[in-house]
């Protein structure tokens, strides 16, 4: 899933002012650039590597491009790593109520619009897929369909439920206070769960461990801690273990994305290399090597990646299937891509921004009401009026208040 923070959430937590490498408004421009690359990779994979929209093997339609498109699914892994970085960054110093309001107001407005749009497309032109019942659409609006056995309206939504699991788990850190120590302990505990889950007879553990995805979230957290406090042996160990686990799960992810038969004909080494490049890119971001990237267009492009991800698959595949006999493959893919980008821009401007602000304001009022009605106490106050005090004494010696900027 493409989790996107606000301008404030994409700001590196330095000591006052916009950080180096941040565009006006506080966003880390390079993060938006990574999102754009990942989103285009996923779109490229769906439009060029899948057979369903073309009615024939995609390698016969795109004999050269198909060889590259089959690895576009790795954009999801990169998104998960960016999500770990951004969520840790945006949650720092926030209360549980603030964290919940932020996530709901950021994720749901564009998602609701995408579910309605994709459902209308599939109801009108059931060429790729049919919507089984209206109740499936209603359940999809909750984003919880993955937990209650209801099919996704759009197959791309499977990542959203994985993201929700990450938010629920990281909320435990927010409740205790987002500190260096607590984040490292969280990374260690989730890593252990991911290693144990495949052989453990525990449905709950397997449900939350998500071992094929958790290494990317954890690595993103580790890279953010490097950026905030500077690198050290512990953080390199955290990231290094996740890199090894991510490489271990490549084969399983190739099977789930391409199918077992296709995997036997597709070399795995490019997937391993792309993961290497993804980790190197995030390491460069963490170390400040990319702070010179300040292209003003990147934040605008990055803002479109979440709605683009949400609407591009089923609607785009339907358009390709519908016009595949009338338009040549390359112009058709380019035309559908441009169409999806324009629709993503409309959703961002007309739905995501205004509805997000409205939802955030209403939810904040609700949180304030809870604060007013809840007895204050160290063990019961999940929505304190003040953010948790900085836990500087828990930061390893030599790194207190250190910033890369």
pLDDT tens digits for range 69-87:
999 999 999 999 999 999 9
- DSSP state letters, 81-113: HHHHHHHHHHHTT--HHHHHHHHHHHHHHHHHH
The pLDDT of residue 270 is above 50: yes
The torsion region of residue 131 among left (phi > 0), alpha (psi -120 to 50) and beta comes to beta
Please state, for a pLDDT cut of 90, what percent of the chain lies above it.
73
Residue with tokens 């803002």: 303
Give the CA count within 13 Å in the CB-facing half-sphere of 105.
Answer: 21
Q: What is the mean pLDDT of residues 234-254?
A: 96
11-48 tens-digit pLDDT: 333 333 334 444 433 468 899 999 999 999 999 999 99
pLDDT of residue 73: 96
The 10s digit of each residue's pLDDT in 285-341 is 999 998 888 888 999 999 999 999 999 999 999 999 999 999 999 999 999 999 999
> Which residues lie closer than 8 Å to 199 by C-beta, 6 or more apart?
none
Q: From 35, 81, 64, 70, select the one nearest 271 (Cα to Cα).
A: 70
Q: What is the pLDDT of residue 329?
A: 96
Q: What is the pLDDT of residue 29?
A: 86
Q: In whole angstroms, what is the distance from residue 160 CA to residue 175 CA?
A: 22
- Please report the pLDDT score of residue 2 as a whole number: 54
Angle at 137 between CA 132 and CA 138, to 5 degrees: 130
What is the average pLDDT score of the chain? 87
Tokens of 397: 């010696």
pLDDT tens digits for 195-232?
998 888 777 888 899 999 999 999 999 999 999 999 99
- The 8 Å CB, 24+ separation contacts for 203-209 are 207/165, 208/165, 208/168, 208/169
Check whether 274 has a pLDDT greater than 70: yes
Confidence at residue 382, expressed as pLDDT on a 0 to 100 scale = 53
Integer angstrom CA distances of residue 140 from 20, 150, 151, 163 = 40, 8, 8, 15
Question: pLDDT tens-digit profile of 94-152?
Answer: 999 999 999 999 999 999 999 999 999 999 999 999 998 999 999 999 999 999 999 99
> For residues 126 and 122, what is the distance between their CA atoms, to the nearest angstrom?
5
Residue 206: exposure state from Cβ atoms within 10 A (0-12, 13-18, ≥19): middle
- CA gap 84, 218 in Å, rounded: 6
3-class secondary structure for 233-293?
Answer: HHHHHHHHHHHHHHHHCHHHHHHHHHCHHHHHHCCCHHHHHHHHHHHHHHHHHHCCCCCCC
* 241 vs 19: which has the higher pLDDT: 241
Contact predicate 11/28, CB 8 Å: yes
Higher pLDDT, 161 or 401: 161
Of 80, 70, 54, 271, the closest CA to residue 158 belongs to 80
pLDDT given at position 389:
44
Q: What span, in angstroms and rounded, lies between the C-alpha atoms of 306 and 3? A: 7
Q: Residue 390's pLDDT band (boundaries 50, 70, 90)?
A: very low
The rounded distance, in Å, linking the Cα atoms of 211 and 250 is 12
């Amino acid at each position: 899933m493409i989790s996107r923070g606000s301008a404030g959430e994409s700001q590196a937590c330095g000591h006052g002012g916009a950080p180096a490498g941040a565009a006006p408004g506080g966003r880390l421009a390079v993060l938006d650039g990574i999102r754009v690359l990942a989103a285009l990779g996923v779109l490229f994979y769906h439009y060029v590597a899948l057979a369903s929209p073309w009615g024939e093997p995609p390698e016969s339609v795109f004999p050269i491009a198909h060889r590259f498109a089959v690895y576009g699914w790795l954009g999801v892994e990169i998104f998960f790593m960016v999500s770990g970085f951004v969520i840790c960054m945006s949650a720092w110093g926030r209360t549980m109520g603030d964290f919940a309001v932020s996530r709901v107001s950021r994720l749901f407005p564009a998602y609701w619009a995408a579910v309605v749009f994709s459902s209308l497309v599939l109801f009108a032109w059931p060429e790729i897929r049919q919507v089984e019942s209206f109740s499936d659409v209603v359940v999809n609006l909750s984003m919880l369909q993955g937990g209650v056995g209801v099919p996704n309206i759009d197959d791309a939504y499977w990542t959203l439920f994985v993201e929700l699991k990450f938010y629920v788990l990281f909320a435990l850190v927010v409740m205790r206070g987002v500190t260096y120590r607590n984040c490292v302990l969280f990374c260690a505990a989730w890593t252990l769960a991911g290693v144990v889950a495949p052989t453990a007879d525990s449905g709950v553990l397997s449900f939350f461990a998500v071992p094929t995805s958790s290494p990317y979230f954890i690595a993103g957290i580790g890279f953010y801690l490097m950026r905030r406090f500077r690198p050290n042996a512990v953080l390199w160990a955290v990231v290094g273990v996740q890199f090894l686990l991510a490489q271990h799960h490549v084969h399983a992810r190739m099977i789930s994305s391409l199918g077992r038969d296709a995997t036997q004909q597709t070399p795995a080494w490019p997937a391993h290399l792309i993961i290497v490049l993804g980790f190197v890119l995030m390491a460069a971001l963490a170390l400040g090597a990319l702070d010179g990237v300040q292209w003003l267009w990147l934040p605008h492009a990055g803002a479109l990646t979440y709605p683009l991800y949400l609407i591009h698959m089923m609607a785009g595949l339907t358009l390709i299937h519908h016009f595949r006999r009338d338009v040549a493959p390359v112009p058709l893919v380019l035309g559908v891509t441009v169409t999806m980008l324009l629709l993503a821009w409309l959703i961002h401007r007309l739905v995501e921004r205004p509805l997000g602000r409205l939802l955030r304001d209403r939810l904040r009022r609700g949180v304030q009401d809870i604060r007013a009605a809840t007895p204050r106490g160290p063990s019961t106050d999940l929505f304190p009026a003040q953010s948790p005090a900085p836990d500087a004494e828990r930061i390893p010696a030599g790194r207190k208040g250190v910033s890369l900027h």
